[in-house]
Chains A and B, each alone.
Chain A
């Protein structure tokens, strides 16, 4: 234990004192802040322009109702919709009843020359087919398309309802969309809003993924560095390969924890004004203690699992380039876990989510996700933990066998049959 502790201390201090640790620790929150702040800021400056739109319809009354709806589009863009960011567009509407091909060509030319933003082909024919065409140069402007779709759908409904004799107020009341607030039930009480839970889960999983990947690779690179420094045999005259491996994994993991701690403190300091701003549409952003505990447990387990693999890979190769080619056994399961996250988010209670979250290589990501967004039964969590711990135990003993032989081997990378023989060597 004395040796392991000495090695952990070296690994930890050398890394934490290094300039790259300081830079990365400071830079990461800066980048994250930039990712969150810049688009929001840009969206504010990216104010909607004045859009001049021609509505072509056989029925001028329908066209003017739709036009009216579109004119009111900005009042409809309420705070709850994530996809509608920035200031709304201001629409100027012209109505045309000329549905000839000549008119269509003429309008097309006006769009090209920039006199109008676009035109909507709202003829009876189009209505019958339930397919309306909006011709514009700005086909990628989803805000506009969103406004138009809403205006046409509600406009048509409003037009027909008022023709059936409903008053304007009755129609308004009927057409106002219902707001849906998702609330998570925790221990019988209502907790955070759905959006907040989702964001929390997403942030936690991405943090876990990033740190496990970065520090797993740090373990690998550190093994390679020791190999190329030729220091391993010097060390092996006083410590065992197992002690070396343990010292490295614990030392590097402690650096990872330190980094997360620094980031969490950063986040707490800087997000306080941010929280106030997002409160309006996220509701109260609160992270339950169970989620934090789950993060801590699954981070440690995930790190152990993947760093054991990375250490074994590091012991097998001699250069960083070789490591790039050999790291897929560790990289693929980790990335796959993130890819499968989507399936679990959408149906966290499904059989698929259950089975996927039990696979030890995905569990740090998927089970964590499930614990944060819903509360899986305790037996599932315990089963998952048992499987992970067993896998880590197996992987560590495999990795230490590979490590023990690999660190004394220079030159050619082992083939699969050679690797199998490594595992059988007595020591």
Chain B
């Protein structure tokens, strides 16, 4: 009798870092970092400059080896054969200036194990899609900066990677290309690709990420589902638009006040009731808008760093 085994529906992690550590002399770049990136999710690796984001990514894809701990990709221990499933756009990015666009894309495609013909066909298709097809036979150095950025995206995505890693993707991008890149990435997410952003500009990726890891000085200080993290913080921020100044600085409900001129932003003390604040404010000035807000990632980060310090 033949037994049909049913494959259990389990979530595979595209990336699993298990206690990786990297030191350069006395400097600890990454310290015992654990993180899991679910397949098909958009993940943000966030933290200030020098927090260890780039070091983490380099260990993730074998550019450097961890001193300790191990890396698993797509459910297996890391091996170089997996690199053909990964597209990496580093922060320090560039191209051979004197190569022609198409030749260059074919080269990078070949290095990701595409055949010459396949690489050429894919490169043409992408160039058409990003509207640089009339430039395929020009040298990279003849292209405008914006066009070079497009070539760089194509180079990252040409081999149709399952895991896309972008280190500071929006730094140095012109606004039009930033929108274009975001649209392409959203589309790739819909197609089931896993995307990892690494950036110090948390506002830029806040809306795109499903999960995040906040790191500082090489340590993870907060990891998990972004919505849950935010929910756990609650809505303790209030924006008030009103005539005149409500003078809330000395109000016992209030932690801090930021007056932006057109509106006032108030952070409540823990446990304070926003309803109470509305009453207090309404007594003092005429309110045109009163809105409860979630804290931004940046505020969460600052709060976390303060707690760990």
Question: What chain B residues lie within 8 Å of A7 (beta carbons)?
Answer: 111
- Binary flags per residue of A230-256, CB closer than 8 Å to B gives 1, else 0: 111111111110000000000000000
- Check B97 against A229 for contact (C-beta < 8 Å): yes
Q: Measured between C-beta atoms, what is the minimum distance from B104 to chain A in Å? A: 9
Q: Which residues of B contact A235 (CB under 8 A)?
A: 111
Q: How far is the CA of A427 from the CA of B71 in the complex (A)?
A: 14
Most buried by A among B83, B86, B111, B113: B111
Chain B min CB distance to A329 (Å): 24
B83 lies within 8 A of A234 (CB): no
| Cβ contacts B148-161/A at 8 Å (1 or 0 each) | 00001001000000
Contact B98–A231 (Cβ < 8 Å):
no
Asked if residues A6 and B107 are in contact (CB atoms below 8 Å), the reply is yes
Which of chain B's residues have a CB closer than 8 A to the CB of A233? 63, 88, 90, 92-93
Cβ 8 A contact of B63, one of A10, A14, A408: A408
A160: interface (CB < 8 Å)? no
Residue of B nearest to A410 (CB): B92
Chain A residue nearest in CB terms to B87 = A237
Interface mask (B83-109 → A, CB under 8 Å = 1, otherwise 0):
110111110111111110000000110
1/0 per residue, CB under 8 A from A, across B12-39: the answer is 0000000000001100000000000000
- Residue numbers in B under 8 Å from A410 (CB-CB): 92
* Nearest CB on A from B144, distance (A): 17
In chain A, positions 385-426 with a C-beta closer than 8 Å to chain B are 408, 410, 421, 425-426
- Using CB atoms, name the residue of chain B closest to A233: B90
Indicate if B110 sits at the interface (CB-CB under 8 A).
yes
Q: Are B95 and A10 in contact (CB under 8 A)?
A: no
Are A231 and B94 neighbours in the complex by a CB distance under 8 Å? yes
Whether B108 contacts A238 by the Cβ 8 Å rule is yes
Q: Is the CB of A234 within 8 A of B107?
A: no
Give bound CA distance, A3 to B113, whole Å. 9
CB distance from B109 to the nearest CB of A (A): 10
B100 to chain A, nearest CB (A): 10
Closest-CB distance, B171 to chain A (whole angstroms): 13
Does A229 contact B95, Cβ atoms closer than 8 Å?
A: yes
On chain A, the residues within 8 Å of B97 by CB distance are 229
- The smallest beta-carbon distance between A276 and chain B, in angstroms, is 45
- Give chain B nearest CB distance to A180 CB in angstroms: 57
Answer yes or no: B65 CB below 8 A from chain A CBs.
Answer: yes
Q: Which of A1-22 contact B (CB under 8 A)?
A: 2-3, 6-7, 10, 14, 18
A425 cross-chain contacts in B, Cβ below 8 A: 24
Whether the pair A234, B80 counts as a contact (CB closer than 8 A) is no
Chain B's closest residue to A405 (CB) is: B64
Select which of A239, A240, A426 is within 8 A of B67 by beta carbon.
A426
Distance to closest chain B CB from A334 (angstroms): 28
Contacts of B92 in A (CB 8 A): 230, 232-233, 410
> Across the interface, which residues of A come within 8 angstroms of B95, CB to CB?
229, 231, 234
**Which residues of chain B from 59 to 92 have any CB-CB distance to chain A below 8 Å in the complex?**
61-65, 67, 80, 83-84, 86-90, 92
Q: Please state if A238 and B65 are interface contacts (CB–CB under 8 Å).
A: no
Within 8 A of A (CB), among B140-186: 152, 155
- Residues in A whose Cβ lies below 8 Å from that of B112: 238
Which residue of A14, A234, A408, A426 contacts B94 across the interface (Cβ within 8 Å)? A234
- Per the bound structure, the CA–CA distance linking A421 and B24 in Å amounts to 9
- Chain A residues with Cβ below 8 Å from B25 are 421
Q: Which A-chain residue is minimally distant from B89 (CB atoms)? A: A234
Please report the C-alpha to C-alpha distance between residue A240 and residue B81 in the assembled complex, in whole angstroms.
Answer: 12
Determine if B83 and A426 form an interchain contact, defined as CB atoms under 8 angstroms apart: no
Task: Let me know if A230 and B83 touch, CB within 8 A.
Answer: no
- Please tell me if the beta carbons of A231 and B107 are within 8 angstroms of each other in the complex: no
Q: Find the B residue at minimum CB distance from A10.
A: B107
**Chain B 271-283 per-residue mask, 1 if CB under 8 angstroms from chain A, else 0:** 0000000000000
Contact between B94 and A237, CB atoms less than 8 A apart: no
Q: In the assembled complex, which residues on chain B have CB atoms less than 8 Å from the CB atom of A421? A: 25
Contacts A6-B110, A234-B90: A229 and B96 contacting too (C-beta < 8 A)? yes
A239 to chain B, nearest CB (A): 6
Complex Cα distance, B63 from A232, in Å, reads 11
- Least CB distance from B133 to A in Å reads 22
Name the residue among A2, A231, A236, A426 with the largest chain B CB count within 10 angstroms. A231
**Chain B residue, CB-CB nearest to A229:** B94
Give bound CA distance, A236 to B111, whole Å: 10
Question: Of the candidates B62, B99, B113, B155, which one forms a contact with A234 in the assembled complex, judged by CB atoms under 8 Å apart?
Answer: B155
Q: Which residue of chain A is the closest to B24 with respect to CB atoms?
A: A425
Give Cα A356–Cα B62 distance, bound, in whole angstroms. Answer: 44
B64, B67, B94, B111: the one contacting A3 at CB < 8 Å is B111
Knowing A6-B111, A427-B65 are in contact, say whether A237-B83 is a contact too (CB < 8 A).
yes
Complex Cα spacing A239 to B149, Å = 22
A226 to B93, CA, bound (A): 11
CB B99 to nearest CB in A, in angstroms, measures 7
A14–B98 touching, CB < 8 Å: yes
Give A7 to B110 CA distance when docked, in angstroms: 10
Give complex CA distance A265, B111 in Å.
35
Contacting pair B83 A238 (CB below 8 A): yes
In angstroms, how far is the closest chain A Cβ from the Cβ of B300?
A: 30
Q: List 19 A-B contacts (CB under 8 A).
A: A6-B110, A6-B111, A7-B111, A229-B94, A230-B93, A231-B96, A233-B63, A233-B88, A233-B92, A233-B93, A234-B93, A234-B94, A237-B86, A237-B88, A238-B111, A240-B62, A408-B58, A426-B67, A427-B64
Taking beta carbons and an 8 Å cutoff, which residues of A are in contact with B? Answer: 2-3, 6-7, 10, 14, 18, 226, 229-240, 408, 410, 421, 425-427
A-B pairs with lowest CB-CB distance, top 7: A230-B94, A237-B88, A427-B65, A233-B90, A238-B111, A229-B94, A231-B94
